[in-house]
Structure 1
Amino acid sequence: MSDSSHSASPGGKEAFHQLIAGLTAEIAGRPLDAELDRWLNANHGAGSPTFARLGAACRQGVAEGWLCEREGGGIKYGRVFKAEDALHRFSVDVVDMQDIAGPHHTHPQGEIDLIMPLDDSPAASFDGRPAGWCVYGPGSAHRPTVAQGRALVLYLLPEGQIKFTA
């Protein structure tokens, strides 16, 4: 069956939601700090089944057009899910960046990032970090930067809170 539209395959977006909900259930209520960063990388980091499933789901979503559907300033991006109880009050965004710095912003309640270098850019890093997780605490700020190639980055934001710098 060939379909050239951008509708999600059966279970595509729903399966992605379930994957994220399973992960957010494990981190709900934990402080966004260096300990959570270590825990995520030890339990769900590069090379883990969770990392592989999330990476495959993100690549599928981009290919099907329901992830990273917007573009601005050389960055493809999009909020997939707003903060909701089923996702333990985390919103979910995914960006597609290649050798670029994004807009400066602060994280009122912190930010959890999953860095997924694309196959042709295995050395791609996000804010100097390789494939895996990066946790920013409440009140932190940065100019998100992908270097040495191209990566998809999944963002989990408590209550969807992000403040872009004017």
Structure 2
Amino acid sequence: MSTKAVFHQTLATLTGQIAGQPLDAALAGWLNQNHGPGSDVYERLKDACTVGVREGWLCEREGGGIRYGRVFKPEDALHRFSVDVVDMQDLAGPHHTHPNGEIDLIMPLTQGATFDGHPAGWCVYPPGSAHHPTVAQGRALVLYLLPEGQIHFTR
């Protein structure tokens, strides 16, 4: 099975566990407890992302110093989440809002790198939230799960 197929299968299992849950601090806590750094799911996703960037099927676009790309559009197999991955180093990305919320998996490539002040692991933004996604203290890959793929960039 290809790395991309394993990646999709791992995400389908994960999204099946969280589908229908409120996007809030309790979900972030559950994700970090059950699928945080060192867990099988975290390590499989980080390995797949690292391989995907190296092979060119992840983060195939670049703009403003950020490598990015939507890997999977919302689909029933992924419980209507889209999947995006960004590769950032010491910068803030474009401001955007999350109409339905956003679930982020932070995978530092530089020890100690953070995403919006969060270390390796998961953070969850509730519906209607907004931010300038910021990686500090090095380089990190960040996987975004967006319900129905909804994201609105501020002009």
Shorter-normalised TM-score: what interval?
A: over 0.9
Alignment partner, residue 5 of structure 1: none
Deviations 1:81-101 (A, max 9, x none): 000000000000000000000
Which of 133, 139, 156 is equivalent to 2:122? Answer: 133
**Alignment RMSD (CA, Å):** 0.6
Q: What CA distance in whole angstroms lies between the structure 1 residues aligned with 2:38 and 2:49? A: 16
Matched, 1:154 2:139: no
Matched, 1:117 2:118: no
Contact 2:7 2:44 in 1 (8 A): no
Contact 2:60 2:68 in 1 (8 A): yes
Alignment partner, residue 144 of structure 1: 133
Aligned residues: 155
Identity %: 75
- Max Rg structure: 1
Kindly report structure 1 stretches of 4+ aligned residues shifted beyond 2 Å: none
| Letter in structure 2 aligned against 1:135 | V
Matched, 1:30 2:21: yes
Report the secondary structure of 2:77's partner residue.
Answer: helix
Q: What CA distance in whole angstroms lies between the structure 2 residues aligned with 1:70 and 1:12? A: 20
TM-score scaled by structure 2?
0.99
Q: What CA distance in whole angstroms lies between the structure 2 residues aligned with 1:50 and 1:103? A: 29
Alignment partner, residue 42 of structure 1: 33
Q: What CA distance in whole angstroms lies between the structure 2 residues aligned with 1:15 and 1:67? A: 14
Report the secondary structure of 1:130's partner residue.
Answer: coil
Q: What CA distance in whole angstroms lies between the structure 1 residues aligned with 2:66 and 2:97? A: 18
Deviations 1:72-125 (A, max 9, x none): 00000000000000000000000000000000000000000000001xx11000
Q: Unpaired runs of 5+ in structure 1? A: 1-9
| Letter in structure 2 aligned against 1:17 | H
